[in-house]
Structure 1
Amino acid sequence: MAGSAARIQRAAETHRRAAAIAAAAGAAVAGYVPRPRSATEERSIRELAERLRVAAAQLAPGWLGARLDAVPASTPLLAGPPRDGPPRDGPPLAAPVMVRIGTAYPLDDASFPVVVPLGHVAFDGDARDARVAGALRALLLRLLASAHAGSVLVRAVDPSATTPGATGAGGAVLAPFAPLRDAGIMSPPVTDRDGLRALLGEAEQRVRAGPGGRTWLLAVASWPQATEAEDLARFAELATAGPAAGLHLLVAGWPPPPLADSTAATGPLPHATQVTLRNPYALVGHPPGGSFAAPVPPDQVRSGALNAEVFLDRPPAPDLIARVCGDLAARATEAARVTLGELLPGGPLWTEQAGDQLAAVVGRSGSAPVTLRLGGATPHWLIVGRAGSGKTTMLQEILYGLCTRYGPDQLAVYLLDLTGRGSFADFLPSTTDPSSLPHAKLVMAGPDRQDGLVALRALAGQLSQRDPATARPPRIACLVDEVEAVDGWGGEAAELLGTLAQQGGPLGVHLILSGRAVPPAAVAARCLVRIALPGGSDALDPANQAAAALALGTAVVNTAGGLGGPRGATRAHEQLVHFPDPRPERAALAGLRHRLWQGQAGGGVA
């Protein structure tokens, strides 16, 4: 008790001294009257402000330095990379980059834009301060609009709730940039400590990869709850090595507040321009490697910041952010687009023999086609993604690839559309088109339980007719769209699907399953090829974050049952691929289906 009383007494004494100092400082400030400037001094300041305005326009041209509230709607973005190169091959932000963060007012009637190097930019308050949130959005917009579409990637930490008082749903500060997510330019912001640590691991991998490739912007709107000193130390290390590797930090809340479990103070962020908030202005510290102040004699102390009040840029208008993000997303998507004709054989049809396996090109990694095999160690494939991610598109692409390579004597297909949306309708005869797919033994066009059981029983019946030692073609591929519908058909259906997964591979019966979720373990364990589309991270191991930020038209292809590691790691069994959407090629594909139907063997897809 005596020790506690002594500590309380010391704390009370410290508080009294602090209060006395604050009172004395307040009295001094209240009595301070700045020396009035002469007319000559004010004229010199105005002339200097004008020279700085001209210099800023030269150092930060276009989007980097323009007033965002005065940008004409017709202002163009940088042209995208060439059509024959995906976005990641486009040039990054030119170095060195100077970017505007606000406007300085040395006099009430004299001002100039404040531009700083990219390095990093750090605000001492987080984005709960509206000024910081606006400045962060403005910085992101400037840097994105000033680079080739897709050559800059954004990773973000934003635990702020989209609804005041809400928990669990973050990303409010950077929500206007959401259109960039489906284009793969920006990943969904992480909102908790685990997400922060995964993101730090990804950024560390990017730094280890060294210079080259795309520029990374890591934006922190605020720190997640339970952030620890170790996390902040890793962040500071990224700041040290980041600029040389093309990684730049835009961080709100640095230095962070002291942590309860740590006595270590967090110092300035290396290579950063520090912005210190006052009310209603801010102080902008000296940029890394430079100074806003004139040289001073050795016996004098140099000012620690630009000697003028700076008002941070206001947030860009929502329609301006929407226009820029929409344009960037469209350009990046177009630059990465793959056509089905690029992946199908260019010569005669049906030239390959099934033998002990089937093969199909599922997409392109860079300029190289990615071929997957059905057979041996990879008897079945699993495709997982959210609604609208391209699951049906991927199945159709695989079907065209298999049926152009292998004739009906080498391949038989069972097509089960459990979506009811016509996934395989083009392969059925209709009143206007009598063609059908010669490989198809069964085409199911809806999630009817009885029809599904008939199809699964028919496939299971093939198992008893085949001997793995003497198995001969045709091999069988069963493509199922929305495999989770089988869960509602009862125990027999689940048992049949599990039997096919466990016994089918050696007998030449292969499953290609797509769905929004991973099927039961008895099935999933045999699907060593995992194809994760946007929203399909469940296809991969929980520790594998490779699919956390996929653009539409891209997929992570993993041939080790989803095993991996942090995002950004290089693994021989995993690739990021771009895959085509066959729908825009309807005329060419109709011609191809007729050639398959008629058994012709000349030419390829136009």
Structure 2
Amino acid sequence: MPGLRGTFDAAVTAHMTAVGTINATRAALDSAPNPPPPPDLLATEAALAARLDAAASHLDALPTVVRLGTARLHAASFGVYVPFLSSAHLCLSADAKDARVAALIRSVLLQAIAKADPGTVDIVTVDAASVGASVAALRPLVDAGRMSAPATDDAGFTAALARAEAHVKARLSGERGTTMILAIASAPSRANGVAERIEALARSGVAAGLHLIAAGFSGLPDSVDVTVGEHMRVANPPGAPFGTDGGLAADVHFDPPLSTDYVRAEAARLAEVARAASVMTFADIRPAQLWTHDPSERLTTVAGRDASGTVTLAFDDATPHWLIGGRTGGGKTVFLLDILYGLAARYSPQDLALYLLDFKEGVSFTEFTPRPGDPTFIPHARAVGIESDREYGVAILRELDAEMTRRSVAMKAVGVARYAQLRAERPVPRIVCVIDEFHVLFAGNDGLAKEAVSLLENVARKGRSYGIHLVLASQTTSGIEALYTKRDSIFGQFGLRIALPGATGVLDTHNTAANGLRTGEAVVNPDGGLSGRDRVIRFPNAHAEPEELRRLRHDLWQARGDIAPPTVFRGYAAVHIDDDPAYAALAATATPSVLLGRYVDAGLPTVALPLDTRPGSHLAIIGPDVAGAHLLHAAALSLRAQVPDATFVVAGLAEADTVADTVAALGSSIVEHVDATGLGAALTALPDRTGPVYVLGFGLDSATLTRPQQEALRAVLRTGPASGVHLLGWWRNLRRHMDDLGPGGREDIATSIVLNVPGHELLNLYGQSVLGWNPRPNRALLIDRHANTRRLIVPFSRREATA
């Protein structure tokens, strides 16, 4: 064994000696100066760097490449550019926790958006590591709608991925749009499935206009991979690898980071360029020629513009109804007018019919109607409600519901199932009904609100099949009690959501795209308000271009042909019988009707009460409102026009001025003008007279009637119509009216008009059907026992009374 031990010791000694020699040699080499490269190598490198710099000067202007830094050789350097937009993704091995990576991402984003055409690039950012600080200096781009606020948690990261996926799907399906950059500066987590989703986006993204900046990732399809260390190593640019190993055979040094002030200033400049690109004028809404579009498949119009270009919206099977939200002063009315004028300019009145309702105290739609000093109107408008009643709104919904039924019958008759097919057989227009401040329609949760909900739900569900579309606009869609159980079934039909400044409840609760909107801006979302398909647009103000607006209105009106003006419901404005077309058309007849006002109905038909031989053909007006005297004045005018040889017994017991005007208006007719004393005698003589005789009683509650005279009144009520004698009386006091009718006399007057008497006081006379009646100015309740109806009317007013 001694020999083996000696051999081992000798080997150890030799090894230690070798190690010492190696260490000494290494130390000597480290301390020795590097020999200078051969002069011919330096000259070659300098020439190569010069050529590369010359090439780089051309690359710098290309929108498809971005600069990463500077590659250094021994004594020369050149800029390093890699393909990005339109051809590649960019993957970095480290994320933005490394300050150099954060600076590089800011630089790449600024380069990409600066080189692209204004507004053609949108940026979605994710930065969890610094809670968005790495891209904070780019905030002006967020304010301009060109970049999203950075997602900083798992939920935001998931939403960003969903938005990118929606972009890819939309572009691959043929939709036009901007290029999107999804910049993941630092991901909040690596939850299950995230890597697969990013890889899928990378695989399909370039073809769909999506480009990734993925910091902390590597090896994605179609990506330029950057390894971050003391220097960068750049490898595998898609389609054109350089270097023997597919990478750049030189170290790449980071460029000095851009200062925060510079980044913020450049972002602000680019944001302003984007805003300028999105500016649109009202003249841009008008097509080159009027009425050239075909409504068979859809209605379309220009809504505004974003940095990507013009934004066109549609009423079609995908977005049959629209929901619009925005606070007062947020531009809601301006946006609606843009849409309506755009539609009216593209489609003829035979192809498009408009029903317009405004429930607030405003004048949103007055310019679609004739106005004092301006006879022009928009010929597409069929019915316009200004400061509308809820009853008028429900009447319009009833009309739309009835129109669906008519179109359903027509479709069955010609054997078709779609509106476009019906259009090929019959020229029926598409209908757009706009209801501004629609929440008023459902106020109170009463019977009227319930009917409105039922009608709205039916039109919303079925309207698209019949070419009928709804636009509901309001400050908010929340807090509407009558809709609590119907929100999903109704609003689920409103795929297109438009949020203006101050909108609440229009977009999904997790969608913050409308935060920070300025006046003249809107978020357009075709997915029911869900995040991922938002476009922030700017829209013009028609009233800021009055000459252009006047010209369009005039051109539309001039092209109208024989189309009549729309039916206009003007809230609480007075209506006069001498303005009524039915009054102008009256002629002598043996079966006259008294004209009393306008029904609160879709077409605002004239209230015409026939006075014939049926029992009960009289009129009772009940309530102390002076409108009772005005109604009798209108009745007298309409009767004189139809029965010029009639005898009028005028009992002027109240409202002397109106009585005097009525007597004067009767002109050559036979008039017996009686006072309180003479009324009793006149009533006593009436049962023996034959008509036509019309008794006009102004303030019959003031009459002092003896028992025989009161019995004579009751006899006239029972038997008068058969002999042509009719009573039209105004009782200011309900109790006195009931006393004059007497026990069992309720049926002797078939028609009553109730003024300012609340429903609960009418129960004994008319039963439960009037319990919901709430008096208000310039409205009346017409009760017709013959037709068994209760209808709201706007009573005629005497013009002098409102002058």
Q: Is the 8 A contact 2:139 2:264 kept in 1?
A: no
Deviations along 1:243-262, whole A, 9 cap, x unmatched? 4665432122225xxxxxxx
Which residue identity is paired with 2:69? G
Whether 1:282 aligns to 2:231 is: yes
Match of 2:551 in 1: 591
Match of 1:262 in 2: none
Match of 2:110 in 1: 141
1:240 and 1:121 map into 2 onto residues whose CA distance is: 13
Whether 1:252 aligns to 2:215 is: yes
Match of 1:448 in 2: none
Match of 1:11 in 2: none
Whether 1:479 aligns to 2:434 is: yes
Match of 1:61 in 2: 58
Q: Is the 8 A contact 2:137 2:263 kept in 1?
A: no
Q: Is the 8 A contact 1:554 1:576 kept in 2?
A: yes
Which residue identity is paired with 1:223? A
Whether 1:362 aligns to 2:301 is: yes
Return the offset for 1:217.
2.9
Match of 2:471 in 1: 512
Give the alignment partner of residue 456 of structure 1, picking from 377, 383, 390: 390
2:129 and 2:289 map into 1 onto residues whose CA distance is: 47
Residue correspondence of structure 1 range 331-480 to structure 2 within 5 A: 331=277, 333=278, 339-342=284-287, 345-346=290-291, 360-363=299-302, 372=315, 381-384=321-324, 391-400=332-341, 413-416=355-358, 418=360, 423-424=364-365, 426-427=367-368, 439=381, 443-444=385-386, 455-461=389-395, 478-480=433-435
Gaps of 5+ in 1: 1-27, 66-92, 165-169, 256-267, 296-301, 445-450, 569-574
C-alpha spacing 1:99/1:552, structure 2 compared with 1 (3 Å): same
Q: Is the 8 A contact 1:383 1:391 kept in 2?
A: no
C-alpha spacing 1:330/1:596, structure 2 compared with 1 (3 Å): closer
Which residue identity is paired with 1:400? Y
Whether 1:130 aligns to 2:108 is: no
Match of 1:102 in 2: 69
Farther off after superposition, 210-219 or 191-200 = 210-219
For 1:314, what is the secondary structure of its paired residue? coil
1:116 and 1:475 map into 2 onto residues whose CA distance is: 53
Q: Is the 8 A contact 1:362 1:370 kept in 2?
A: yes
1:290 and 1:358 map into 2 onto residues whose CA distance is: 47
Match of 2:495 in 1: 530
For 2:117, what is the secondary structure of its paired residue? coil
Q: How many residues align?
A: 484
Q: Normalization by structure 1: what TM-score?
A: 0.60
Deviations along 1:216-262, whole A, 9 cap, x unmatched? 4332111134x32421133234435544665432122225xxxxxxx
1:344 and 1:394 map into 2 onto residues whose CA distance is: 22
Return the offset for 1:514.
2.2
Which residue identity is paired with 1:593? R
1:589 and 1:397 map into 2 onto residues whose CA distance is: 10
Which residue identity is paired with 2:391? R
1:186 and 1:286 map into 2 onto residues whose CA distance is: 29
Which residue identity is paired with 1:269? L
Return the offset for 1:455.
1.9
C-alpha spacing 1:37/1:577, structure 2 compared with 1 (3 Å): same
2:167 and 2:473 map into 1 onto residues whose CA distance is: 31
Which residue identity is paired with 2:498? L
Q: Normalization by structure 2: what TM-score?
A: 0.47
2:378 and 2:42 map into 1 onto residues whose CA distance is: 80
Return the offset for 1:554.
7.9
Match of 2:251 in 1: 308
For 1:502, what is the secondary structure of its paired residue? helix
Return the offset for 1:498.
1.9
1:455 and 1:29 map into 2 onto residues whose CA distance is: 98
Deviations along 1:350-383, whole A, 9 cap, x unmatched? x99x9xx99853348999986637xxx9997332
Which residue identity is paired with 1:531? L
1:30 and 1:484 map into 2 onto residues whose CA distance is: 87
1:186 and 1:158 map into 2 onto residues whose CA distance is: 13
Gaps of 5+ in 2: 1-24, 411-427, 563-803
Q: Is the 8 A contact 1:282 1:312 kept in 2?
A: no
Structure number with bigger Rg:
2
Return the offset for 1:397.
3.3
Structure with higher helix content:
2
C-alpha spacing 1:122/1:178, structure 2 compared with 1 (3 Å): same
Q: Is the 8 A contact 1:180 1:325 kept in 2?
A: yes
Return the offset for 1:310.
0.8
Q: Is the 8 A contact 1:122 1:253 kept in 2?
A: yes
C-alpha spacing 1:495/1:346, structure 2 compared with 1 (3 Å): same
C-alpha spacing 1:126/1:479, structure 2 compared with 1 (3 Å): same
Q: Is the 8 A contact 2:282 2:542 kept in 1?
A: no
In angstroms, what is the RMSD of aligned CA positions?
5.8
1:303 and 1:598 map into 2 onto residues whose CA distance is: 71
Match of 1:201 in 2: 165
Match of 1:114 in 2: 80
C-alpha spacing 1:513/1:57, structure 2 compared with 1 (3 Å): farther
Deviations along 1:122-181, whole A, 9 cap, x unmatched? 2222223332222112112212222333444434334466687xxxxx974753432552
Residue correspondence of structure 1 range 210-221 to structure 2 within 5 A: 215-221=179-185
Q: Is the 8 A contact 2:52 2:78 kept in 1?
A: no
1:516 and 1:161 map into 2 onto residues whose CA distance is: 37
2:32 and 2:561 map into 1 onto residues whose CA distance is: 93
C-alpha spacing 1:203/1:126, structure 2 compared with 1 (3 Å): farther
Identity %: 25
C-alpha spacing 1:120/1:194, structure 2 compared with 1 (3 Å): closer
1:135 and 1:32 map into 2 onto residues whose CA distance is: 37
Return the offset for 1:481.
3.4
1:582 and 1:382 map into 2 onto residues whose CA distance is: 21
Return the offset for 1:462.
5.3
Return the offset for 1:532.
2.6
2:282 and 2:215 map into 1 onto residues whose CA distance is: 36
1:386 and 1:34 map into 2 onto residues whose CA distance is: 75
Q: Is the 8 A contact 2:359 2:389 kept in 1?
A: no
1:358 and 1:455 map into 2 onto residues whose CA distance is: 34
Give the alignment partner of residue 491 of structure 1, picking from 445, 452, 464: 445
Which residue identity is paired with 1:120? H
Which residue identity is paired with 2:186? S
1:98 and 1:464 map into 2 onto residues whose CA distance is: 61
1:433 and 1:218 map into 2 onto residues whose CA distance is: 54
C-alpha spacing 1:147/1:526, structure 2 compared with 1 (3 Å): same
Deviations along 1:269-323, whole A, 9 cap, x unmatched? 3443333334xx4322334366665x6xxxxxx7976543512452353212221
C-alpha spacing 1:358/1:424, structure 2 compared with 1 (3 Å): farther
Which residue identity is paired with 2:273? D
Deviations along 1:512-568, whole A, 9 cap, x unmatched? 2124655646366346353233679976889999999x996784557xxx4999869
2:546 and 2:406 map into 1 onto residues whose CA distance is: 40
Match of 1:272 in 2: 223
Give the alignment partner of residue 323 of structure 1, picking from 263, 269, 278: 269
1:392 and 1:369 map into 2 onto residues whose CA distance is: 18
Which residue identity is paired with 1:345? L
For 1:250, what is the secondary structure of its paired residue? strand
Deviations along 1:370-423, whole A, 9 cap, x unmatched? 6637xxx99973323567997544421343356665769x957443164x7864
For 1:342, what is the secondary structure of its paired residue? coil
For 2:472, what is the secondary structure of its paired residue? strand
Return the offset for 1:496.
6.0
Q: Is the 8 A contact 2:138 2:263 kept in 1?
A: no
